[in-house]
Structures are given as C-alpha cells and as structure tokens.
Structure 1
Amino acid sequence: MGQAFYVAGTGTDIGKTFFSSLFMAKYAKNHGFRYWKPIQTGLTGPSDTEFVQKTTALPDSFFLKPVYEFVAPASPHYAAKQEGKILDPKYLLNAIAKERKTNTLIEGAGGVFVPWTADYIAIKGIQESNLPVVVVGSTELGTINHTLLTLDVLTNRFIPILGFYLVGPKNELQTDNAETIQRLGGTPCLGVTNFPEQKLSPNDFISFANESFDTNRNVMESLLGPDDEG
C-alpha cells in the first residue's frame, strides 16, 4: 500500500520544488512515486511541474496535472480572483483523498498560512487531507524562527510531521540551524542538502541527488511501512 505525503514550506520560494526534484530524482523510479502540485500559481514562467520534469527527465507517467492553475504569481485566493475563477477546497480535498494511498509527493503552494480562498487557509486543507508532512526550510539566517513557527502550528493542529529538511546555499550556520530546530522543535531533522554550485544536466542532477540528498535515508524510511522493502 502506498503513502502520499505533503511537502510544506516555511515560506514562498524556500526550496520545496528543489526538494521535490531531489526526491523524485532519487526515489521515483525505484519506489513508484509521482509528483503533484495541486495548486499552481505564477504561470507567467515554467510551472513547478515542468521544472521537476525537466530537471529529472522523468516521463509524463510520473506526474499528475494540477487541479488549479493560475497565471498570477500570487497566493491562490488572489490569483483566482484576478482570473474570475473559483477554487473549491472541498473539490480539491476530494481529489487529494483519491491519491492518499498512492506513492505521491504533493507539493504545497507557498507556506502553511497561504490562503486558498478568502476564508480558507492552506493549513486547514493539510489538516483535513490527513497526510503526513515534510517541512522544507532554508539553510540560511532566519530559518530557525520560520521553521519553528511552521512546526509549532502544525503540531498544535495535530498534523503528523515526518520531520524537517533544510535546503539552500552552503553556509557556516546550517549545521547549528538544523541542530537548534531539532532540539527546540522536537521534530527530527531528516537532512540538509545544499544547492549545486552550477546548473546540472538531468543525468548529473540524478547523480547529485543520489549522492547529496537523504544520505541517511531518513526521508524514505519515514515513509516506508513495516511491510515495505527499502
């Protein structure tokens, strides 16, 4: 039996799509995981789905199409309003429920308090989806505060957290950041991966992911059931 999980960021452009690309590059083929971003905004440029697919060179079968797509690079509630469209949380949650027992990485839009509609925020949708969460934060200055806040609100709503993962530029703070968040947040650090120093081809990115992502297999082990093979 599969297990979908939700990738939540501590903010916008924090590294969720980079994390998702790493995960898909390393595990998609061996474990049958698919990538899905149900709400996509900012279609003035390449979508996150297109980015992950281009980065990993995985075929179409490893990707689900977004339920909602909007042009404006803004929160879903604003982007939908600009286009005169309606985002229905119930419809979206029904779509997510159908994938709950499949191996699917579900990437969220922005941070956990981003409004899907004028009166419905992302964290409510995460809670009602009943999916376990990986929180993605930055390696850089400010991540302790942002990540602890995100972990705290998820915990207070009894949302299952698999752990947190830091991504971003390599810096002298990142080890202490990870240790401090783990100690104060009471949530395991699943790993830290720095951005590659240069743009990589899909083959090179797959090699990079295999070498640099989830080196202790903490992410994958948190997803595997007792009857699953590593």
Structure 2
Amino acid sequence: MLDSAPSLDGDEDFARQKITYLVIDFEGLTPKGRSPVPVEVAVCAVRLTAAGLVERWRYDALMAAPADVPVTGRFIAQTGISAAMLAGAVPPGRIMADLDARLTDPPYRLVAHHAPTEAGLIAGQREHCPILAAVPLLDTVRLARVVYPELPSHRLDELVRHLRLVPPGRRHRALPDVLITVQVFERLVLEGARAGIWKELRDLDRLGGLAAKRPVAPEAAQASLF
C-alpha cells in the first residue's frame, strides 16, 4: 500500500490471509463529569498481502453533539471542528448503525492507536453497532512498544517521526488520523514479522490485543495471520 513500506514479496501465506483490519479513530468532546461524546468517526478497512496493506473501503462522518454538551474553543483549535459543522450532522446512533451495516464480510479486527479510548466510545454506542462492538481490538501503542522498545514515547506523533511518515492531512481529524495509523500499523506488522516477533494473528492478539467489551462467539478462520 505504501511505496516506502517494507514488503514480504514471495511469502504466499500473506496472500492467503483473509482478516479485514478496521483501522478506526474517533474525535470526541469530553464534558466535565460525563463520558466522552463522539462527534466524528473514520474507518479504513484493509487487508494484509505479501506487498503490504491493501485498502478495501473507507468511511468517515461527523456526528451531532448533544444540545447540553458545549463545543469548546480548545476543541475547535485542536480539531478544526466547529459547532456549526456539528449542527448539520446526524446523531451518533445513526452514524454507528450505518457503519455497522457495512460489516458484512467477517472476520475482523479493529485497530486503533491507544485502543482503550476507541473501545470505550464503541461500547457506549453498542446498541447501534452490535457487530462492531463485538470485534476484538489491536492497540498500535502496545504493538509499537514491542517492535520499538528503544523509543522513549510511543505516541502517534513520535512514531510518525521515527518512521519518517508524512500525515495525509490535519492531525486530530478522524480520517487523517486513521490514514496515518494505517501506515504505522503496516510498518509494525511487517517489521515485527521480519524480526520474528509474530507469525500468526494469535501473536498480535497476545502482544497487542484487547478483548471486545462484551462476550462474542469465536470468529472462524482467524488462526493464521500470514
């Protein structure tokens, strides 16, 4: 997927890998004394091949904020998302239901940078996205700590600098953050595989995984990553 990324050309097991990775990011408001409120979501669905990650589809949307949750000046400065932009958006439940309806070709893994944040926001919307809420997660922070233990920080900006990547848009917007996380995830998976850190999906789950926040039936055909 990326010209600068390493590849595993000739490794036939990569080409047989059928997991769809859903790289996801939310932007949200954090009202005092309440759980975070999602106001933007983006997902990029990718599959791993011998040459790297190949995009299958992407999705992004703004979501209306509750009337009693203010859009602060600090939030606007960080994200560029204004109250006027959110006023024309639809409620989170409708967006999450629309996203859930796209998940028709399992098995899946969710991928996020500092995945507990995304896990909490998804759990808060689980009645609207039951399929998404049942998908286990992979945390690129945890994976990065294994692949690059020498780094003093594994924040997304630090990994972008270390890997000499170029963000495809403004940071702290959901879709640009997703697209740069796709690049980071690709490098982590391929460099970790070449270093012998992981060979199968179970290795990624063990080293960087988070269980979904509710019981799920075992997903079929997920034994092999490569």
TM class, shorter-length: 0.3 to 0.5
The structure having more radius of gyration, on CA atoms, is: 2
TM-score (norm 1): 0.37
Q: TM-score, normalised by structure 2?
A: 0.38
